Structures are given as structure tokens and as C-alpha cells.
Structure 1
Amino acid sequence: MKYIVIVFLLQLSLFQSRAQQKEIPVVIIMADQLRYDAIGQYTPNINALKKDGVSFNRTYTASPICVPARGAFFTGKYPNTSGSLINGWVKQDERYRVVKQGTRNLYETLSKQWEAWHVGKQHFFTQPDIEKDPNVNVQWITQKTYQQWLAPQGVKKPGGREFTDYAPELVSGAYTHAKRYTVPVHKLYTPGLRYFPDDFFGEKSAEIIRNHKGKKPLMLATMFMSPHPPFHIPAPYYDKVRRQDIRIPSNVGQWYEGQSPLQLYGLAGFIGSRYSREQWEDVWPRYMGLVSLLDDETGKIIKALKDKGIYDDALIIFTADHGEMLGSHSLWMKMCMYEASARVPLVIKFPRGFRPAVSETSQPVSLIDVWPTLISYLGINGAGETDGISLMPLVEGKTFGRNDVFIQYDGNAAYGSNQRCVVSRPHKLIMDTFRDEVYLELYNVEKDPEEKENLVMKPENRALAERLIGKIKEHMRQTGDLLRLPDDVYQQFLTNYAKLNEKSESDS
């Protein structure tokens, strides 16, 4: 009899938790390498979604590189905590790309009650492999699926050797090797839009929505590859945007006096500094053409939801894993803490039964806050702990429970060239490292959004700089950071660069 009562109570508890849980369609659309300021003239579908949702205008990635950014997004944890620090394509350091075993994630949790699909780029690496984990009931359509579809048709995917060149990369924080990476070369993709990966993913996503039977609510995560290079772009998007149609930021093609010279040791500066502003003016329209393509593919998903009659009841998230420098500060791709690289768009459209108190907010938030927001809004129990916090108080017009956003970078294919950053309104402090050297940058990103004036050497900012350095060090301690910084890092920086300035003056 006692056993029967226990079973009954467990079933009742499960029923009550299910009753409280909002089992509604959940759609996540993630772009790859989308600047926050690219949303506008060429994104009518995303603009319409913004009107129906809440825009988080100061959203930052947890790491400005694909794999750890997604590791943080899907777990709600900082890279230090999740264990996913780098892309990890170099064998010696590939262990640093994998989310630690036992770390709960969005896919694992939602796939228990939702019909779950992943469509598109798959750069979320776990132990065990999430695509083979029997506890994760997700159906996968990935880059491999696209290439399997493409191969029998005798068509090559976009890109190739002509879109790459050599750049240096620090391996294991100890030595440098040369590796080929994408450069801002552009060319028409002649096979056409039908064979382009994002058109394939957009069509598959719309097909999944149309074929959904409704036995379980739909969870669809579409991970587009645009506007990530290579800029091998199909018509009509290759020349859809003309140079005279856009105004590029004033910091494009500019290297500033207070900018970290350590950036020249890596891909972003090594390649980006080769190009003049005039050359970047030719590249920008190609990037914006890919943004337009991304918007049209996003529009396919939204139309399918509306045609199916589930748009109004769906929770829809649109964001990007990180941004793209595209010549800002004379840098290329991402891998740094400037706004163009680390800041991303984030829009959340709620179901019609819920009315947000705000349509937008400028409170700095992190992508690690998205999964906790879903947990909170959907009423999910047993999802595990996260480092992020729910955005629902902001949505409801209440006080947000955190003032600082932390960002880290630990390398691309290999571990090294670490960077740490804190955004503490209205300032941002960046710590750029290469082996034993640390370079500091401090910006008021609200007054100086293009980050042209490094304030860190001004005597009146010493207390501010030391306070923000202290915040970063404490965050590193709490999250078990592998990076070690000298105790007197600020004074060392001032001493090193004061000597350099003195030498430069004497040489002149």
C-alpha cells in the first residue's frame, strides 16, 4: 500500500509540473557572424519580428568564436564553466572545445517534451557526442546532410582555397604555426541559390514546420551559416547591394593609437590590417548581400509558421553567435572584444497570451541568459543550474539582477592569445594577452560606440580601470579560469608602454 501511495504521489507531481509547463512551439534562429548593426535596411523580415517581440539592444556573446559561443548559448554557462573554450580544430588542443560531461543543455531538456529538430550548422560539441547521445531525442539536419545532398548533383559547396590565406596561430599557448583561414575575397557562386547551404537549411526548416503533426509541440533550432565568409555568394545577392547604397562605420580601415598591438599576432589583425578603407568599401556590400539572403531565409521560416497557424502561439528567438569586424579597427572576422565582434542582435517574440511591458531594452545582457529565460518562461523543472539569469524581469519592466557582462576568448583552432573583458555600464575594459604580455583597453561604449579612444592611460581613470580589472579577476577565480594574470597587471602595463612612448619620443 505504501509503495502504491509513493507511485501515485510521483505521478501527481509529474502531472502538476507538466500542467505548469508551457508546451508551446519554440523556434530558435541563429545567424553566424552577424554584426548587431547589420539589422536594418536589408532585413525586412527580421525587422517585422522585432516589431512583434522584445529587442535586447546590448546583447553580448560569451565568446567571439563559433564553438564556445554556442556552448555557452545552449548550456547557459560561461565558457570557463562549460569547458568549451575554443573551436579546437588543432589536434593538440581539441579537448578545449568540448562541453564537460554532465553539463545539462537546452537540447537534452527540451527534447524530452518537444518534437526537437536541429537544422544547419552544428558547432555544439559535447561528451558524449550530442548527435549520438540516447538521452537527447533531437533529429539532426547538419552541414553533413547538406553535403550528402549536394554530392550526387556534381555541385561544389561555396568556398575553396582561393578564399583563404595563411595566418599565424598560437598553439597550446606555447608555439606558433601557420594555418590557412578565410580572407575577404569575394566572387559569384555560379551554381546558384538552390545549391547554397542556407537555402537548403531554410527550405528544410519550412518543410519541418509544414509537416509537423502536433502530437508534441515543435522545437526547431535553425543555425544559418550566413553571413559568415567565404564571400562566395549566389545571385541575386552577390551584387544586390551597391557600394553607394550603404554608409560604413568611420572606424573601418582605421588603426587607433590605443589599440592593442597584440592583435597583429593573430588572424584578425594579421589579415585585417592588410586592407585599406577603400578595399573594405568593396567588401561591405557583399557582406550585406549575405545579410539580405539570411533575412529572406528567416522569412521562409516565419511564413511557414504563419501558414501553419502557429506563429502567434510560438516563442521565437532570433540572434547570432557573434559579430564580424569587417574592417573596423582594421580587423577581420571576430576573435576580439570590440562591439562589432562581441555584440549581437537578440529578439524574443513571445506568444500572444503574454504582453511584455517593454518592446526594447538597452540593459547589457549575455547570450548565456537566453536558456535561463526559456526555463523561466516555459516553467521547466529540473533543467540544471546555469550561470546566466532569466531576462524575464527586463521583459516585465522590473529591475535586472546583474550589472556586469563577462566575455572571454581563448583561441580559434588552438588554445592561446587569450582575452578577457567586462562590460560594466557605461564602460568596457579589455585585457588582451599574448604569452606573458597584457595590453589594456578601456572605453566608454555609450559615448564612444566605435571605441576610438582608449581611456586606460589617463590618470583620472586609474581607479575605474583597477576596479574593472578586479571584477575580471574575481570572475576568473569564480569560474576556474585557466589563464593566470600578474597581480600588478595594470602597473606593469603602464610601465611597459610609458617606456615605449618615451623611446618613440626620443627617436623622433
Structure 2
Amino acid sequence: MKQIVVFIIGALIVQQQALAQTKQAPVIIIMCDQLRYDAIGEYTPHINELKADGVSFNRTYCASPLCAPSRAAFFTGKYPNDNGCLINGWQDEDAHYGEVKSGTLNMYGLLGDNWNSRHIGKQHFVTQDKIDKDPQSKTKWITPQTYKQWVKSVNEKAPGGPQFKAMLPELVSNKYTQYKNYSTPKYDVYKPGLQYFDDNYYTDKAIETINESKHDKKPLFLSLMYLSPHPPFDVPEPYYSKFKPEDFAIPDNIGEWYAGQSTLQLYNLTGFIGTRYTKEQWKQVWPKYFGLVSLVDDEIGRVIDALKTNGLYDKALIIFTSDHGEMLGSHSLWQKMCMYEESARVPFIIKFPSDYKPALKEVNDNVSLIDVWPTLIDYLDIDNAGNTDGQSLMPLLQGKATGRKNVFIQYDGNGAYGNNQRCIVEGDYKLIIDTFKDEVFIELYNLSTDPLEKNNLAVNIKYEAIVNQLIEKVKKHMSDTNDLLKLPDNIYQNFVTHYTTSNKSSSGD
């Protein structure tokens, strides 16, 4: 009997140790910048390896199709309205809209208690608390400033320059317009070479961190933020010449402006720059974008190899995603900053430690990047994490419903506050409310029957009930999150009234 009791106690101790090991798993987050969801495939073998070993969430949306607010939502699990970060905040008058509110709980602060927290790469998680500059921060930061200091010290230049930019108008404080300087699809070879390229530098630093982590008592939390394939398309060889236009069967909506799409995009960077390029010109741009996709995939491959070499790959929880997508000529638009699939939908993969077996390999439910942090809180059993707007995906991975019926997305301007957009994705329907000052444009798409979003159903009065139901849900979400934007009454009726007869007749079901 005594031997049985000892055996049971021993088994419980082993079980508790295994549980503790799982809860203290290394956490590796790999985030690309401006990576389209449909770029994953033929040219991403290393990301495909993660996908094969993990769970792919095929219908994932960012909370905002812009760098800073998307990352703020990702790292706090809160919608932009709730965490306070709405824009990138380049304009002085509106800079406060680009910061996460002071005291907001976030992934870096909470994981830093029990993990060795490291940030390497692009730093667009901007907080009023300036956590990346706080000497008491639990995280060690390697940022673009670190890279620029290094590349200058070796007498080379960082990618980019004025030749990759153009002037365009930007609405400031939703009141007046200024002339600003932003990127274009121009491309060129990065002459200093791959060894001086920013993402290569960040991978080197990540590998150094992984190698050193085996000596640490705490597990590693590595937040690796790549810049690719974000413009400028200043691409080092061999990636600059790796692809040719004939390598790609570009989507049908490239270089096309549809009768039902929002004309208000012409006031935004997306349309102001994007409509200057023809389908044939976009065909020349695609190989350079995918050159950067291939580059960052190879960098991720180096990180995976380092994790395997150090015995961490099987133990680690690895999250791969992008902050948003890239239009790349779809709908004749450039960059992101809109609600179409190419901009707002992102790749998202979770590879769990080998001792956890999810019930699913692929998930086709609509999920949001604000769900990532609640999922980590749930899986890692993080205490004192506070409330989030997101929902843990762990029940979904066990074959249960999450309770999420819809996904909300918002956009409030790039460097300044203005050009607001609101969006809801519910089932197969997506409703977009696009505003410019007092004007409102509405779009409704059935993503099942119209995945390229060519046919705006909102111009057809037959869909009035669906449009109004979704508008009310958007308005409730805006009210619940204390949205600064206030939509006028009867916006659908006003939209239909002001929409031209010629556009109505050119659209069908």
C-alpha cells in the first residue's frame, strides 16, 4: 500500500512538473509588416513549415489596417478605441491619438514578470508610458534606431530614401488638409547588400538571443518584428531579381476600380497613389514585393533553425502573423488603410509545444488579432491580466464554439486623425462604412460568392435589411468602445439617395 501511495505522489509530481513546463513554455512571436494573407504558399517554404506543425487560422483580421493601432490592439487585446491608439501619430496635433493609454496592461509588461522578454525589430507599439525607453522596462529593446546606429557605424545606409516617396494630401484632425510625404510602389536594388539589410540584422540579433537563452533560468519571450515586405521596395540581391512578372497570375481585381467601391478612397493615400498605376505597371511591382516576401521567409527559416539547434522548437509556442496586409494594386489601391481583404485580412499561425495537441489543424471561423493575447493568457495561465476585448481561441482549438459572432475593424487616419472607416465581418458578409468629413459611403460584400469584393451589394435596395442590421451592430460597438467618430442617422438611406443611377445600373447581385 505504501508503495502505491509513493507511486501516486511521484506521478503527481511528474504531472505538475510537466504542467509547469508547459505553462512556462518559450514564447516566440514573429510578425511581418504588410504581408498579404494570400502571399503564403509557393514562395514561403519556411512559413509553410510552421503551418504544417501548427494551426492555421484562415479568416483572421487585424483590428486596424495600420501599423501602430494594429500592434497596439495585438499586444493589449483591446480595440483601438479602448486602448487609445488610433493612428501612427506623425502629425503633432494628433500625436496623442497614436499612443496606448497610460497604465494599459500589455503582453510585454505581463510576460516580463516570468519570461526573459526581448523585442527585436520594428517598434510600432507606442505607449504613453514609453515602455521601450523606460530604464526599468522588463524588456530589452533592439529597434530600428539600434539598426540605424549600427549600419551608420559600418559606413552603409539603411534601405529607402526620398526617391521612394511622393507628396499627397492628408486630412488632419478631421478638419483641414496638409501636403505629406509617403511611400510609392517605386522599386530599386538595395546596393549595400543583404548583410546590411535591416531584417537580416534583426535575424542575427534574434539568433544571438536564442543562443544565449539556454543559459537563462527563465523561458524566452521573443517578439521579433520584421519590416518586410513593407515598402520601400529597396530590395537586396538575390531577391531583387528572383522573380519575373510572368511568375505571377495576379488576381483579377488588380488595377481595377469597381463602380461600387468607395470613391472616398481617392482622398486617401490608397487611391491617391494607387490609381496612378495601370494593371501592366502593377505586374512589374509584384515581383519586387514577393522578393521581400521570399527574403523574410528565409530569415524566418534561420530563426526556426536556431530554435531547433538549441532544442527550443518543440518546446516553444510560436505565433506567426502580420500587422495588416497590402493592396498591391487590388481595387487600384496601394498600401493598406482600407477594409478590403488584401488590406485587413492577415495570415495567422500558432505552433504549440509538442505536448499539446489541438483538435484542429485549420480554423475557418472569423477571428481577430485582438484574440491572440487572451489566447496566451488562457494557455499560459497568466494571472492579473485584466480584461480584454478579445476572446481566447483555446475553446475553438478544442472543437468548441468561441462565442465570437463578428469581427470589428476600424481606421482613423495614417499620420493624422481623419478619413475614418468602420467595418464589421459577420459570417460571409462584410459591411464597410467609409467617411470623409460629412460624407459617408457604404459597401456590402458577400465574401463567399465574391471573394475579390467586386460587387457592392449595398447599392441594391434588396439588401437594405442586412445593411441596416449590420450598421446597427457597428453603431453599438462604437458606443460600447466610446468611439470618437459619430455616424449620422439614416446613413444608408442617404447613401442610396446620393448614389448615381448609372452606378446602380452597373451593379448586380
Instruction: Classify the TM-score, shorter chain.
Output: over 0.9
- Alignment of structure 1 residues 172-321 onto 2, 5 Å: 172-212=173-213, 213-321=215-323
1:167 is matched with which residue? 168
Runs of 5+ in structure 2 lacking a partner? 1-15
Matches within 5 A, 1:390-409: 390-409=392-411
Distance verdict in 2 for CA 1:503–1:45, change over 3 Å:
closer
Larger CA deviation: 449-458 vs 125-134: 125-134
1:168-212 Cα offsets, whole Å, 9 max, x none, are: 100000011111110000001110000000000011101110111
Q: Could you tell me how far 1:20 is from its partner in structure 2?
A: 9.4
Q: Pick from 463, 466, 470: which aligns with 1:464?
A: 466
CA apart distance, 1:214: 3.1
Could you tell me how far apart the structure 1 residues matched to 2:91 and 2:375 are?
34
Cα distance change on mapping 1:450 and 1:210 into 2, 3 Å: same
Letter in 2 for 1:250: D
Deviates more, 1:458-467 or 1:342-351: 458-467
SS of equivalent residue, structure 1 residue 228: coil
Alpha-carbon displacement from aligned partner over 1:473-495 (angstroms, at most 9, x marks no partner): 00000000000111111111111
Contact 1:108 1:135 in 2 (8 A): no
| Aligned position for 1:6 | none
Give the letter for the 1:185 counterpart: K
**Is 1:132 matched with 2:133?**
yes
Partner SS for 2:365: coil
Aligned to 2:66: 65
Shift of 1:131: 1.3
After superposition, residues 318-333 of structure 1 pair within 5 angstroms as 318-333=320-335
Conserved 8 A contact 1:63-1:409: yes
> CA-to-partner distance for each residue in 1:16-46, whole Å, 9 max, x for gaps?
9x95980110000000000000001110000
Q: Is the 8 A contact 1:356 1:395 kept in 2?
A: yes
TM-score by length of 1: 0.94
String of CA shifts for 1:266-294, please: whole Å, max 9, x gaps. 11000000000000000001000100001
Distance 1:165 1:501 in 2: 31
CA contact (8 A) 1:100 1:126 kept: yes
Q: Does 1:146 align with 2:162?
A: no
5+ residue gaps, structure 1, are 1-14
- Residue 503 and residue 467 in structure 1: after superposition, are their counterparts in 2 closer, same or farther (change >3 A)? closer
In 1, Cα distance between the equivalents of 2:255 and 2:85?
32
What CA distance in whole angstroms lies between the structure 2 residues aligned with 1:352 and 1:245?
Answer: 37
Task: Pick which of 18-27 and 191-200 moved more.
Answer: 18-27
Distance 2:231 2:20 in 1: 45
Poorly superposed stretches of 4+, deviation over 6 Å: none
Separation in structure 2 between the aligned mates of residue 100 and residue 134 of structure 1, nearest angstrom? 19
Offset at 1:437?
0.3
Question: Which residue number corresponds to residue 365 of structure 1?
Answer: 367
Contact 2:87 2:98 in 1 (8 A): yes
For 1:81, the equivalent position in structure 2 comes to: 82
Aligned residue type for 1:429: L
Q: Using the alignment, how far apart are the partners of 1:149 and 1:134 within structure 2?
A: 21
The structural deviation recorded for 1:136 is 3.3
Amino acid at match of 2:328: L
In the alignment, which residue of structure 2 is the partner of 1:95?
A: 96
- Counterpart-to-counterpart distance in 2, 1:95 and 1:353: 44
Please, what is the CA RMSD of the aligned residues?
Answer: 1.7
Partner of 2:12: none
2:29 partner letter: I
Deviations 1:225-265 (A, max 9, x none): 00000000000000111111111111000000001000001
Q: Is the CA contact 1:21–1:379 (under 8 Å) kept in the aligned structure 2?
A: no
Aligned counterparts of 2:501 and 2:91: Cα–Cα separation in 1: 37
Question: Do the aligned residues in 2 keep the contact of 1:118 with 1:138 (CA within 8 Å)?
Answer: yes
1:40 equivalent in structure 2: 41
Which of 444, 452, 457 is residue 454 of structure 2 equivalent to?
Answer: 452
Could you tell me which amino acid in structure 2 is paired with residue 57 of structure 1?
A: N
Amino acid in structure 2 at the alignment position of 1:411: G
SS in 1 for 2:457: coil
1:120 matches 2:121: yes
8 A Cα contact 1:427 1:443, kept in partner: yes
8 Å Cα contact 1:406-1:421 kept in structure 2: yes
Q: How many Å separate the matches in 2 of 1:280 and 1:35?
A: 15
Q: TM-score, normalised by structure 2?
A: 0.94
Distance (Å, rounded) in 2 between the aligned partners of 1:179 and 1:66: 18
